Structure 1
């Protein structure tokens, strides 16, 4: 007789209907970098899916504005933490407050990142890269992710369940084609690529480290996003689009399904995985 395996997610036994498979009703979700371009879109789709959402961003003004926007549109609970995720004390205090109010943390989405678009030294050749700029990027993109994952991971171990999603970039898994950027100042510096690549490997490490703890850790790797508000260089947009199989840059909404898949019960058998959503950029 073949024995039925125990499902790591009991909820799926009770209700695996398509209507609920991608829902996050009642789940407490922590989203870092919430007030950014992609973060704010993620916030909307997470609230629409029924989660209690914790908005984490250093920009207090944008964070408060986003909370008000979400509260008016969705019937969900939103909390804001205007903190620097590289500050260990701030992260610890945030996690304590979240667990005191919600009693649990179901999902952590490490979306916060730093790319110095306007830094006067960002376009220096690699041979002249300033160490302070390298350190600042590594501190936010990796050390901040480490602190959030460590503190919230500790809670997930105690509650014997949780999901962590690390938001990476195609430049964490491929070399940046410098030829497509021209004078757009949208090129990806070496330190950004380094941190995004490190994120992919940390995902695999944590997924393996927390085996048997019912904690799933995955990476969501994204391609470039078209944004009219940024007035992106037309030549760059054209060059980038030609390098994707689908012939265009992503719209922010293109990532909704992938994010919900990894955050929800729909991916209950997925861990240590890098889900690449890039319009075919890396398939050539």
Structure 2
């Protein structure tokens, strides 16, 4: 066989005549979603379960994990596993792939969705740049960047076994562009540099891993724009006025992106950042 023939031959087991419905089918595959019981995490778990995947919900709160897995099992007939894990404890993070393989015998999809977003009352977080603290910085980088690194590294061998592993890192538009701080005036909201830096690092890590883990594991990112979740009217009005689609995002808007990147619909896509922001970053 010539070099050119080798380069153009599809991977073993690939059917070039698969339908779209077949390409998006995740039956038999196992997905791990960190922050799975959070707002965006729930939507992603629902999307993957609906497409047939077994879903492992990783979150700190055991009750929330259990309630979600019970619902996914009933609503989508999905095989599920709740894992109450503190992602700030590396030993617990490293236990995830073994727990998944012991239960399901495989691991195909990893969604790094858990994120440190802080709170308005956290010292050194939502404040002017001069008063943002190194402690808050470290907390953000630990959960938003270090944990995805540690978990992806630990899961990589299992993800590669079946030749169709997919890692999805959930970033943010503020890992891509800078904030307009005028939008936060007269609110308790803010946009700390640590959050932006951690999400920017996650996007670069996505590109790095996409080349190193190929061809058996694809690594991509989803960057949500602002999600409507009870923000002050003044903020929402300014945000919507600057968004081509004229509204803030909803958790449901993330489902299609997750389904695409997790499935064989994107079998030839890696190292990419799918921005789901209603056009916010297109101006």
After TM superposition, the structure 1 = structure 2 runs for residues 43-122 of structure 1, keeping only pairs within 5 Å, are 43-121=45-123, 122=125
In 2: Cα distance, 1:125 partner to 1:232 partner: 20
> Structure 1: how far apart are the matches of 2:160 and 2:53?
21
CA contact (8 A) 1:12 1:265 kept: no
TM superposition shift of 1:276: 1.1
Match of 2:167 in 1: 164
- Listed as ranges, the matches of 1:186-205 within 5 Å are 186-205=189-208
For residue 224 of structure 1, what is the aligned residue in structure 2?
226
Indicate the larger mover: 140-149 or 94-103. 94-103
Aligned 8 A contact 1:114 1:137 in 2: yes
Say what the alpha-carbon RMSD is for the aligned residues. 1.8
Answer whether contact 2:119 2:126 (CA < 8 A) is retained.
no
- The alignment's TM-score, normalised by the length of structure 1, stands at 0.93
Name the structure 1 match of 2:131. 128
Pair 1:237-2:236 in alignment: yes
Shift, 1:159, TM fit: 4.4
What's the counterpart of residue 248 of structure 2? 249
Deviates more, 1:2-11 or 1:147-156: 2-11
Cα offset, 1:219, TM superposition = 0.9
Residue in 1 that maps onto 2:35:
33
Deviations 1:218-253 (A, max 9, x none): 0111111113xxx32111111001111111111221
Greater CA drift, 121-130 or 144-153: 121-130
- CA shift in 2, pair 1:23/1:157, >3 Å: closer
Relative to structure 1, the CA distance from residue 11 to residue 80 in structure 2 (aligned partners, 3 Å threshold; closer, same or farther) is farther
Q: How many residues align?
A: 279
Deviation by residue 1:17-65 (Cα, 9 ceiling, x = unmatched): 1222222111100000001111111111111111000000012121112
Alpha-carbon separation, structure 1, partners of 2:220 and 2:73:
29
8 Å contact kept, 1:8–1:214: no
Kindly tell me: are residues 132 and 53 of structure 1, through their superposed partners in 2, closer, same or farther at Cα, counting changes over 3 Å?
same
Q: Is the 8 A contact 1:165 1:217 kept in 2?
A: yes
Q: Distance in 2 between matches of 1:264 and 1:197?
A: 25
2:158 paired residue number? 155
In 2, the alpha carbon distance for the partners of 1:68 and 1:185 equals: 36
How far 1:99 sits from its partner (Å)?
1.1
Give me the TM-score of the superposition, normalised by structure 2.
Answer: 0.93
After superposition, the Cα gap between the structure-2 partners of 1:218 and 1:9, relative to the gap in structure 1 and judged at 3 Å, is farther
Contact kept, 8 Å, 1:224 with 1:250, in 2: the verdict is yes
